[in-house]
Chains A and B, each alone.
Chain A
């Protein structure tokens, strides 16, 4: 699996990522590091405990990282969640969006996992 295929699998924009990060080496480096980032865990924890400020910050961080990485699908859902949380909304709509973020994250993580195994293996 190539990095490009990985981007396609996680619904990202490889060209855009190349545009921002300027080299395949860097893109690959950060893609591989993405799974180590604790923001998603923080988001999950905060959503469960109902800690709105922390949840907002975590979603915001995910949004920022995804923007840099051009993970389009996850960027979209996390952005929407960020805006909801910014307004202090932790209700059903936020939960629903959170589920979508989780789904997008899972898909992203799966794709990266697959790429990592191939690259590492």
Chain B
């Protein structure tokens, strides 16, 4: 599009420019031509008039002389004779008086008889003689004895005075200068000049620079060009015009300069006047004008072109700008479209992933339900099916929770519920949750903590749990059977200040690891490495996205990852959490001597230090054999360890074997506790048999140690029951019980009376309403209402009571029924009841609810 417009613009620009050049060029050329024509016309006009003037002038000066001569001829009497000296004297005197330099008789045979002046010869006598013989006045040129040119005026005389010659005319002579001076033929060379020639081209009068005798020769030699004609052609034309006696006009170039020439016949003679006008001056004026005109034309052309160019340039710029804007808009639109497509694709992917992920457990649930239905009597089978259904349901629930979390995250609605959190409780519960999975895959699981100075921090425990669970369950999921999973937790000072503590959580496994490529996408939604190895691994693919959001975006922490395919993966989470502002329990125990046995040196040191902080002196060792040695040594010194902590998994002699050996040495008194991150259900029997007193689950927080060891400080008395769970004190409260069944009433009565409540029995809803109506206001403080009763059911009774006009009509009414369906609960509440309790009657629950609503 851009190129098209540019091309169009350029083409039209060039087109218009060319047009301009053409138009103005033609204009200029035309003007040039026109100026040449004009010069020609002007020249012709000027020359013709000038020639005519010259011609008239010539006629007049010749006419004057002719008149003089005619008068002279008039004086010759008709009877004059040649020898009449008087006449001759008279003629001479008169002629001299009239300034004729020569005077003579001209015979009809062409002979001269000079009266005075030197002998003259007519240069071209024939036409002169012819004319005179025809009695015509004529002018001709002749030469005197000295060879000088003389203008001859011939006047035919009717009375020829010559006897021996037939006298034709009286001829007077004048110097040539008379004509040339009078005609001003020798003009300034800048201007016009003239020649007088004869028909054969010979000069009669010529200007100085024409040194040849014949004009025609001069033409042949000097003329370079005669308006496109050759010299010969021009001479032919000139001759033709001379013969016909018409005027002739033309232009020629001589010596690089152009001239205009004009030829006209002169009266009284066979002569032609050639007038020349060099174009020089006129030409320069007209050419100057024409140049000026051309310059103006070119200038205006240039101005118009420039203006056009400017307009085009502006327009081009404008178009470019528009194009750019359009392009930008298009790109923006494209980007928006891409984004929309991406979002759409993401959504489609999400849906497709979701439907696949939901379908898998749903299939299991549906399938297992069908199998269970088909084998309803085979308890074992049904049990098995239910177990699988429960598992799939749990998975499904997890999936839905993840999706809800994701949508919360995407809507920015995930907020943290900050509360006091005990790191010990969090890790304990995580370990408890992971133990079954670890056991199922026969993996080595170890939890390790050290340098935990602050156990209670402010955090969202649910989300923290979620993060840990995600990391651990991934580690378990992607680690093959027999692999190792290691979780570490430690603290250091936080850069955020004294009120905070920096917590590092590290989860490490020896699993399948991740490809470099996948590591980039691990925190994306629905990211699951698509390879044969992980093909069957279940999960939503949302876990890490949620984890990252919680850690980084919500809690402001960092999450780092390090993974190698086939080697394993390590995740490190760092969080700066505020220390909980609570007084930690004053944890002090007697100054026991303890021994800690674990193959992990760090754990030993950290545990010993933790024990030290609660007042216990402890020693540690790394294996069972040395532990037994140390115990023996102490025994000899008579300074037994009072409590021994023993790791289960030890190199060489394991925990149980060690315990057995120690028991042999120490007897039964000293408590031996087994430390383990595993579920000890399996080994419990064997452990007890070996003399293990109890278990402490990893990780060993200070509080874990304190709580586990406290019992040994104040041993429980034999046979003492744990203190009865004390319910709320509701003695003396009056409660109306609507119950149609006597047995059920008695049960309720027995159980609740024992708690001090004063119960009144109503046999059905109707009775209940009546008894309530008749009671003083505020007498009954609550009603326990059965639903299924004759005469009037619990729902109706409640509705009636709620519409009574008594200030205490809103007393708490609690439904108590064998129905425990959600719709029953809902219906109870819809009818105006406050709560719902399912039978069998759980006294604690009833008391709790009564306590809640009686307040």
Binding site for B on A (CB under 8 A): 20-22, 26, 29-30, 33-34, 36-37, 39, 54, 56-57, 60-61, 63-65, 67-70, 79, 82
Q: Is B840 a contact partner of A68 (Cβ separation < 8 A)?
A: yes
Contacts of A63 in B (CB 8 A): 818, 839
**Are A30 and B790 also in contact (CB < 8 A) when A60-B818, A61-B741, A67-B840 are?**
no
Q: Across the interface, do B750 and A26 meet the contact criterion of CB distance under 8 Å?
A: yes
Contact check, B841 vs A68: say whether CB atoms are below 8 A apart: yes
Question: Does B742 lie within 8 Å of A20, measured CB to CB?
Answer: no
Q: Which of B740, B744, B786, B843 contacts A22 (CB 8 A)?
A: B843
A69–B743 Cα distance when bound, in Å, is: 10
- Do A64 and B843 touch across chains, with their CB atoms under 8 A apart? no
Q: Which residues of B contact A64 (CB under 8 A)?
A: 741, 744, 786, 817-818, 839
CB atoms of B818 and A33 under 8 A apart: no
Indicate whether B660 reaches chain A with its CB closer than 8 angstroms: no
| CB atoms of B742 and A68 under 8 A apart | no
B646 to chain A, nearest CB (A): 36
- State how many angstroms separate the Cβ of A100 from the closest Cβ of chain B: 15
Q: Which A residues are CB-close (under 8 A) to B818?
A: 60, 63-64, 67, 79, 82
CB closest residue in chain B, given A64: B818
Q: In angstroms, how far is the closest chain B Cβ from the Cβ of A63? A: 5
- Per-residue A-contact encoding for B404-421, CB less than 8 Å = 1, 0 else: 000000000000000000
Q: Select which of B750, B754, B788, B842 is within 8 A of A61 by beta carbon.
A: B788
Query: Which residues of B does A touch, CB under 8 Å?
Result: 740-744, 746-747, 750-751, 754, 786, 788-790, 817-819, 839-843
Whether the Cβ atoms of A65 and B746 lie closer than 8 Å is no
A33 to B741, CA, bound (A): 12
* A57 and B788 contact, CB distance less than 8 A: yes
Q: How far is the CB of B67 from chain A (nearest CB, A)?
A: 167
Q: Which of B741, B817, B840 contacts A39 (CB 8 A)?
A: B741
Question: Which of A26, A29, A60 has the most CB atoms of chain B within a 10 A radius of its CB?
Answer: A60
How far, in whole Å, are A21 and B844 apart by their CA atoms in the complex?
11
CB of B840 within 8 A of CB of A70, answer yes
| Chain B residues with CB under 8 A of A57 | 740, 788-790
Q: Name the A residues within 8 Å of B789 (CB-CB).
A: 57
A39 to B790, CA, bound (A): 12
Q: Which residues of B contact A79 (CB under 8 A)?
A: 818
Q: Are A21 and B751 in contact (CB under 8 A)?
A: yes
Contact call A34/B840, Cβ cutoff below 8 A: no
- Residue of B743, B750, B817, B842 near A37 (CB, 8 A) is B743
Residues in A whose Cβ lies below 8 Å from that of B788 = 56-57, 60-61
Q: Decide: B743 and A20 in contact? CB cutoff 8 A.
A: no
Q: Which of A22, A30, A56 contacts B746 (CB 8 A)?
A: A30
CB distance from B791 to the nearest CB of A (A): 11
- Roughly how many angstroms separate A21 CA and B741 CA in the complex, as a whole number? 17
Name A30's closest neighbour in chain B (CB-CB): B747
Q: Which of B747, B818, B839, B843 is most buried by chain A, counting CB atoms within 10 A of its CB?
A: B818
Q: Is the interface of B mostly helix, strand, loop or mixed?
A: loop
Q: Please give me the residue from chain B that is nearest to A56 by CB atom.
A: B788
Q: How far is the CA of A34 from the CA of B788 in the complex (A)?
A: 19
Taking CB as reference atom, which chain B residue is nearest A39? B741
A42 to chain B, nearest CB (A): 9
B743 CB, min distance to chain A CBs, angstroms: 5
B794 to chain A, nearest CB (A): 11
Which 7 pairs between the two chains have the least Cβ-Cβ distance?
A: A64-B818, A67-B840, A68-B840, A60-B788, A67-B839, A63-B818, A64-B839
Q: A57-B790, A60-B818 are in contact. Are A68 and B747 (CB under 8 A)?
A: yes
Say yes or no: A61-B747 contact (C-beta < 8 A), given A20-B840, A67-B840.
no
Q: Indicate if the CB atoms of B842 and A20 lie closer than 8 Å.
A: yes
Which chain A positions have C-beta within 8 A of B744? 61, 64-65, 68
Q: Which residues of B contact A21 (CB under 8 A)?
A: 747, 750-751
Q: Which residues of A contact B841 (CB under 8 A)?
A: 20, 68
The distance in angstroms between the C-alpha atoms of A63 and B743, with both chains bound, is 12
CB proximity of B626 to chain A, nearest CB, Å: 48
Task: Report B815 CB to chain A, min CB distance, Å.
Answer: 12
How far does the Cβ of B651 sit from chain A's closest Cβ, in whole Å? Answer: 45
Q: With contacts A21-B751, A33-B746 known, what are 12 further pairs, Cβ within 8 A?
A: A21-B747, A26-B750, A30-B743, A30-B746, A30-B750, A37-B743, A64-B818, A65-B741, A65-B744, A67-B840, A68-B747, A68-B841
Cβ distance A28 to chain B, nearest Cβ, rounded Å: 12
Q: How far is the CA of A54 from the CA of B746 in the complex (A)?
A: 22
Complex alpha-carbon distance, A29 and B843, angstroms: 18
Interchain residue pairs with CB less than 8 A apart (15): A20-B840, A20-B841, A22-B751, A26-B751, A37-B741, A54-B790, A57-B740, A60-B819, A61-B740, A61-B788, A63-B818, A64-B786, A65-B741, A67-B840, A68-B840
Residues in A neighbouring B746, C-beta threshold 8 A: 29-30, 33
Q: Give CA–CA (A34, B743) in the complex, Å.
A: 7
- Residue ID in chain A nearest B788 by CB atoms: A60
- The interface residues of chain B lying within 8 Å CB-to-CB of A82 are 818
Q: A60-B818, A64-B839 are in contact. Are A33 and B743 (CB under 8 A)?
A: yes
Chain A residues, CB < 8 A from B747? 21, 26, 30, 65, 68
- Residues of chain A with a CB closer than 8 A to B819's CB: 60
Assembly CA distance A11 to B818 (angstroms):
20
CB proximity of B376 to chain A, nearest CB, Å: 13
Question: In this complex, which of B743, B786, B817 has the most chain A Cβ atoms within 10 angstroms of its Cβ?
Answer: B743
Question: What is the minimal beta-carbon distance from B537 to any residue of chain A, in angstroms?
Answer: 41
Most buried by B among A39, A56, A61: A61
Closest to A25 in B: B750
CA distance A70 to B747 in the complex (A): 13
CA–CA, A121 and B747, complex, Å: 25
Q: For A69, list chain B residues within 8 Å (CB).
A: 840
A36 to B751, CA, bound (A): 20
Residues of B within 8 A of A20 (CB): 840-843
Q: Chain A residues near B742 (CB, 8 Å)?
A: 37
Name the residue on A nearest B790 (C-beta).
A57
CB nearest neighbor in A for B739: A64
**In the complex the two chains form, what is the Cα distance from A65 to B750 in whole Å?**
14
CB distance from A82 to the nearest CB of B (A): 8
Q: How far is the CB of B740 from chain A (nearest CB, A)?
A: 7
In angstroms, Cα B843 to Cα A67, docked, is 14
Q: Chain A: which residue is nearest B817 at the CB level?
A: A64
Taking CB atoms, residues of chain A closer than 8 Å to B751 are: 21-22, 26
Residues of A within 8 A of B817 (CB): 64
The smallest C-beta distance from B493 to any residue of chain A, in angstroms, reads 51
Q: How far is the CA of A30 from the CA of B747 in the complex (A)?
A: 7
Residues of B near A26 (CB, < 8 A) are 747, 750-751
Alpha-carbon gap, A67 to B818, bound state (A): 8
Tell me the nearest residue of chain A to B841, going by C-beta.
Answer: A68
Residue of A nearest to B748 (CB): A68
A22 to B741, CA, bound (A): 21
Residues of A within 8 A of B843 (CB): 20, 22
Expressed in whole angstroms, the Cα–Cα distance for A30 and B742 within the complex equals 11
Residue in chain A with minimal CB distance to B740: A61
What is the CB-to-nearest-CB distance from A91 to chain B, in angstroms, rounded to a whole number? 20
- Minimum distance in angstroms from B409 CB to a CB of chain A: 42
Cα distance A82–B824 in the bound complex, in angstroms: 14
Distance A100 CA – B819 CA, assembled complex (angstroms):
21
- In the bound assembly, the distance between CA atoms of A40 and B129 in angstroms comes to 189
**What's the Cα separation between A17 and B498 when bound, in Å?**
55
Contacts of B741 on A, CB cut-off 8 Å? 37, 39, 61, 64-65
Name which residue of chain B comes closest to A20, CB basis.
B840
Report whether B743 and A65 are in contact in the complex, using a CB–CB cutoff of 8 Å: yes
**B621–chain A nearest beta-carbon distance, Å:** 46
- Which among B744, B842, B843 has the greatest number of chain A C-beta atoms within 10 A? B744
For the complex, what is the distance from the CA of A56 to the CA of B746, rounded to whole Å? 22
Residues of A within 8 A of B842 (CB): 20
Task: Give the complex CA separation of A68 and B837 in angstroms.
Answer: 13
C-alpha spacing A36/B745, complex, angstroms: 14
Q: Which residue of B lies closest to A33 (CB)?
A: B743
A64 CA to B841 CA, complexed, in Å: 9
What is the bound-complex CA distance between A95 and B411, given in angstroms?
56
Question: CA–CA, A13 to B828, complex, Å?
Answer: 30
